[in-house]
Structure 1
Amino acid sequence: MKSKLTPLMLALSVAGLTACGGSGSGSGSSAPEIITYTVNVSLGSNDGLVCADSNQNLMCDTGETQATSTAGNATLTSQNIALLNTNYILTQSDKFSLAAPSAIADNAAVVLSPATTAVVGQLMRGVARDEAVTKTNNALKTGLKLELNASELLTQAPQSLNDFSQSYLALWEQALTKSDNTVALLTGFTEQLQAIATASLENTHLDNVDEYVSNALYWDRGFPMTDTGVVTFAENDATGLTATVAAFPGQDADFGLDVTQSESSDGHAGFKYVKLDVQGNELAADASEWSCVKDQQTGLIWEKKLADDSVRSGTYLFINKPELEREYFYDEEEYVDELEYASCDNTEGKSDGICSAQQYVSHVNSLNDGAGLCGSTQWQLPSVNQLESLIHFGQAYSDDETVVGIDTAFFPNTFTEVYNYYQTDTNSLLNAAYDESKYNWTIGFAGSEVGTSDSMSYCTTGQDCYGGAEPVRLVVIGEKE
């Protein structure tokens, strides 16, 4: 039988000759250079076992690169470049303590602190790195009433955060005695960072540990969502049917909280709300005056919009950024002052200079001589997921025959102009390639735009900035019912 030299056999033969110096000239090839990657970790006054948490379980497992710190410093080294692309954690007595996001660059200096730990918590919640740093920085600035530089948050440990760091670590130590679900605790504490920071100033943070832990474990069940509010059925061209359609099984109205919790005194269909007075006390469902609404499905507390011309009016529109950070944007054939679209320009003497969403947040948190609204000073713009939890897809027409995708018995005075979407603090990349402005997701609640998400730009620098003004509904991260 003849032997045929296939391309694969030829390649293997050549490889073998090369490996053995088969050409007869010169010596064998030199060994490849071994590269060692290094990360320098600073822990402040803390010591323990530091590791690259490659599986993100907040534990230093066998096989993960690790080192014991000395005098608050540790050096991690590995021949695997993955060392530069994973989070780093500190464990003490086999319990998670602090974390920091990946170094990215070789021989980089990494700081582990409560601030960087919160950034990791945001990353574990699915937030992009830059946004995670911004959210953490803003929560600490607001909660501690400090000026902080977001660009330094990952590389430095500001002395202004020393007291908070000690308070946070004491709180974390107590939290670990109540639950060993460190992933849930970390992501939950990250969501409550601003409230924890404020409580630390008042030295009440340890008093609230049960609340913080309870919230974190409750949210870990998955973000608690409401149902859609759809309680009618469709068959071919017929809609609004009140009975299950055998020919078209599995419709929305057959399932969920809208079926199992359909009692309507506390909210239409499966929605479940309770009215709150200005101090945050619960009111009867038929109360004629209330200031806020607590969603008993999600634990979120929402502000009620007013039917007047004040800054809390349901028709009041805000630009996203404060006036000092915006310039102009292009509208058709001319550049327009962005503030022309904000309601503060149209309510002279009534706005108190509150033109941006950020200014409105500060205003609400300072109401009632600093007591805030409904007993809270932790009001903020909602995330896109939080705001979506209010959407009522089955809402009927209101008195003015405008579709409003929210339970108007609890949320009256919702803005009804179709193309004015409510603002969120969730960044969006939609259209970002067209100019240098930033974008946030917005959610529609009126007309044909109910439940529609869009992207709102806000002006920071440059004239090619397509900004605008939109309504706002603030939220407080509440606790489980």
Structure 2
Amino acid sequence: MKPQLTILAISLALAGCGGSGGSDTSASAAPTYTVSGTVTAQNVDLQSKVCADINQNYMCDSGEPSSTANANGEFSITSTKKSILSVPLLAQVDTGIAANSTSGSASSYAYIAAPGLQKNTGNEINGISSLLAGYVADGLTIAEANNKLKAQLAKSGITISGDIQDDLSASELASLEQNVVSTIKAFKHSNRAFMLAQLSAKFDKSAADYVGGVLDNDQVTAFANFLEGELKAATALNDTGVLRYFSDIDDTQDVVEPQSSFPGQDAEYGFDKTELNANTGNGFQFAKLDSNGQVLSDDATQWACVLDQRSGLIWETKTDDENSLQYKDRQFALELPGVVTPYDQDVDLATCKTKGDAICTTQDYVEHINAINLCGKSDWRLPTFHEFYNVLDFGETEKNAGGKAYGLTYKYFPHQSVGGEYTEIGSVWNQSIIYNQYSNTAVDGGFYYNEIGTLGEDRGYISALEIYSGDVDSSDNSDSYQFPARLVSLQGK
């Protein structure tokens, strides 16, 4: 039996974390903790407010431990909260733009950051530390963040020996440091964690050279606007797809008319809202694409990809041909470069072993689909948890051969996965690795993963599964899980 935790179990486990099992300290004062360092960013007021970002929303909120740096940028924060050592440290800098609703600016302040390093002293906050913090905000460890940033710098001929957080003010990083701070100041959206993560991942893909010299305002603004567009694509939401109403007249079949005796039902609101006596809604805006990425007519009978016009994401279509690499139930072991290495026994049970090919892991599959430029795209990847959940259609009535309603809109996604050997609820891989789950039976080298059910009554159901990585001792453990994959790409990239 594979280890699995339901939402209820997760909730109970998290609730247990706040119990009274700790030692009684009522007889003595609570211990205090101190974190100190220096703001070293160029072209900012060094006498800035610095805070420990306890809730990790990448802004200094009222009540969060803070202090004001001196004229040399030196700061020291003391608190009874030990978490100040491990959460991001933020320096609040003035953008020079007054906050108001017409300017599009959410605040007159921007926040440069440093990742929490468990260091009492010697912390440094500037543009380069903000790049590391952006990677950490996106789920990477500090070691992984170092490797990512070093690889980006190497493209520009810059080599940093040792850990970058120990050399944040290196002279060869001076232009990059200024440009990063200027870009952070130019952000308009309040989703700072996402914006910072995108800046970290993509500064080296900007049309302007972020490393070779200090950029002008137009160049910085252009790239900041591009990242704002990335946020819009990543967060634009569809509706649920629910078009019908529960009725007490016949509770075995929902009806198309709103029910005055049961007001406030899902179908009465949002994009799904239907016209009276019409079973139509606009919860999703899909378009079929040919193999070159061109839009086809809505009644096309053959298509290669599906564009979600609301989010800007392009989804791979699958096939029911078992000999195709894009077969809907082809099984893969999970591999996320820099995050998850594949587990040997999961690889051994992947479909590649019976088909005699080398496409065994999700990364193998990503590389294959990118190599063939499916729909003219070469940036295919596994979807994030929210991206995949955003295309679930809870109103779909078409059923598979097993009698279970599909979880994606059948008209556009006719070939949908059953799942894996151990969980046949339509699961496909996403990037939802979670680290806030603990079990005393967890295997060293394993981690928890949010599985999304997509079939029948399991549509939208989330379970925490323990997945094994390449760090697990295969001599003492069996396989964990293998699932199919449905990849996603971003329109216009």
Whether contact under 8 Å (1:184, 1:216) holds in the other structure is no
Instruction: Tell me the alpha carbon deviations over residues 163-193 of structure 1, each in whole angstroms, 9 at most, x when there is no partner.
Output: 7x8458537636745x5x3634663352465
Equivalents in 2 of 1:433, 1:287: separation in Å? 52
Residue of structure 1 equivalent to 2:36: 39
Higher relative contact order (CA 8 A, sep 6+): 2
Mapped pair 1:302 → 2:302: no
Whether contact under 8 Å (2:34, 2:79) holds in the other structure is yes
Mark the CA change 1:283 to 1:201 in structure 2 (over 3 Å): closer, same or farther. farther
Equivalents in 2 of 1:379, 1:115: separation in Å? 29
Match of 1:363 among 348, 360, 368: 368
Residue of structure 1 equivalent to 2:273: 259
Residue of structure 2 equivalent to 1:392: 393
Residue of structure 2 equivalent to 1:3: none
SS in 1 for 2:110: strand
Give the Å deviation of 1:276: 3.1
- Describe how 1:233-244 pairs up with structure 2 within 5 A: 233-236=245-248, 237-244=251-258
Between 291-300 and 225-234, the greater mean CA deviation after superposition: 291-300
Mark the CA change 1:144 to 1:442 in structure 2 (over 3 Å): closer, same or farther. farther
Q: Which amino acid aligns with 2:195?
A: G
Residue of structure 2 equivalent to 1:348: 356
Identical-residue share of aligned pairs (%): 20
Q: Structure 1 stretches (4+) deviating beyond 6 angstroms? A: 44-47, 141-146, 200-207
Mark the CA change 1:175 to 1:76 in structure 2 (over 3 Å): closer, same or farther. closer
Instruction: Tell me the alpha carbon deviations over residues 417-438 of structure 1, each in whole angstroms, 9 at most, x when there is no partner.
Output: 5345111211235564422211
Residue of structure 2 equivalent to 1:292: 305
Equivalents in 2 of 1:260, 1:136: separation in Å? 47
Residue of structure 2 equivalent to 1:52: 50
Q: Which runs of 5+ in 2 are unaligned?
A: 1-28, 97-108, 212-218
Give the Å deviation of 1:355: 1.2
Mark the CA change 1:344 to 1:156 in structure 2 (over 3 Å): closer, same or farther. farther
Residue of structure 2 equivalent to 1:20: none
Mark the CA change 1:142 to 1:37 in structure 2 (over 3 Å): closer, same or farther. closer
Mark the CA change 1:256 to 1:157 in structure 2 (over 3 Å): closer, same or farther. same
SS in 1 for 2:483: coil
Give the Å deviation of 1:113: 4.0
Equivalents in 1 of 2:336, 2:35: separation in Å? 42
Instruction: Tell me the alpha carbon deviations over residues 378-423 of structure 1, each in whole angstroms, 9 at most, x when there is no partner.
Output: 3322222221111111111247454211112222321135345111
Residue of structure 2 equivalent to 1:451: 460
Residue of structure 2 equivalent to 1:224: 236
Q: Which amino acid aligns with 2:312?
A: G
SS in 2 for 1:441: strand
Residue of structure 2 equivalent to 1:416: 418
Residue of structure 1 equivalent to 2:380: 379
Give the Å deviation of 1:320: 0.7
Mapped pair 1:403 → 2:415: no
Mark the CA change 1:432 to 1:168 in structure 2 (over 3 Å): closer, same or farther. farther
Whether contact under 8 Å (1:38, 1:78) holds in the other structure is yes
SS in 1 for 2:254: strand
TM-score of the pair, normalised by structure 1: 0.69
Equivalents in 2 of 1:356, 1:433: separation in Å? 28
Whether contact under 8 Å (2:127, 2:180) holds in the other structure is no
- Describe how 1:418-437 pairs up with structure 2 within 5 A: 418-428=424-434, 429=436, 432-434=439-441, 435-436=443-444, 437=446
Whether contact under 8 Å (1:65, 1:77) holds in the other structure is yes
Q: Which amino acid aligns with 2:458?
A: E
Give the Å deviation of 1:462: 1.7
Mark the CA change 1:137 to 1:197 in structure 2 (over 3 Å): closer, same or farther. farther
Equivalents in 1 of 2:320, 2:151: separation in Å? 29
Q: Which has the larger radius of gyration?
A: 1
Residue of structure 2 equivalent to 1:473: 486
Residue of structure 1 equivalent to 2:75: 76
Whether contact under 8 Å (1:52, 1:86) holds in the other structure is no
Whether contact under 8 Å (1:319, 1:458) holds in the other structure is no
Residue of structure 2 equivalent to 1:318: 332
- Describe how 1:79-98 pairs up with structure 2 within 5 A: 79-80=78-79, 84=85, 87-89=89-91, 91=93, 96=110, 98=112
Q: Which amino acid aligns with 2:285?
A: K
SS in 1 for 2:431: strand
Equivalents in 2 of 1:142, 1:239: separation in Å? 57
Mark the CA change 1:384 to 1:154 in structure 2 (over 3 Å): closer, same or farther. farther
Equivalents in 2 of 1:261, 1:153: separation in Å? 58
Give the Å deviation of 1:339: 2.4
Equivalents in 2 of 1:375, 1:449: separation in Å? 34
Equivalents in 2 of 1:182, 1:301: separation in Å? 24
Equivalents in 2 of 1:249, 1:416: separation in Å? 35
Give the Å deviation of 1:241: 1.8
Equivalents in 1 of 2:304, 2:147: separation in Å? 26
Mark the CA change 1:121 to 1:46 in structure 2 (over 3 Å): closer, same or farther. farther
Give the Å deviation of 1:458: 2.7
Equivalents in 2 of 1:402, 1:292: separation in Å? 24
Give the Å deviation of 1:274: 2.0
Whether contact under 8 Å (1:115, 1:136) holds in the other structure is no
Whether contact under 8 Å (2:315, 2:488) holds in the other structure is yes
Whether contact under 8 Å (1:321, 1:458) holds in the other structure is no
Equivalents in 1 of 2:310, 2:95: separation in Å? 38
* C-alpha RMSD of matched pairs (Å): 4.7
TM-score of the pair, normalised by structure 2: 0.67
SS in 1 for 2:195: helix
SS in 1 for 2:450: strand
SS in 2 for 1:240: coil
Whether contact under 8 Å (2:179, 2:210) holds in the other structure is no
Give the Å deviation of 1:357: 1.4
Whether contact under 8 Å (1:261, 1:270) holds in the other structure is no
Equivalents in 2 of 1:430, 1:60: separation in Å? 27
Give the Å deviation of 1:232: 1.6
Give the Å deviation of 1:137: 6.5
Mark the CA change 1:187 to 1:54 in structure 2 (over 3 Å): closer, same or farther. same
Mark the CA change 1:96 to 1:311 in structure 2 (over 3 Å): closer, same or farther. same
SS in 1 for 2:485: coil
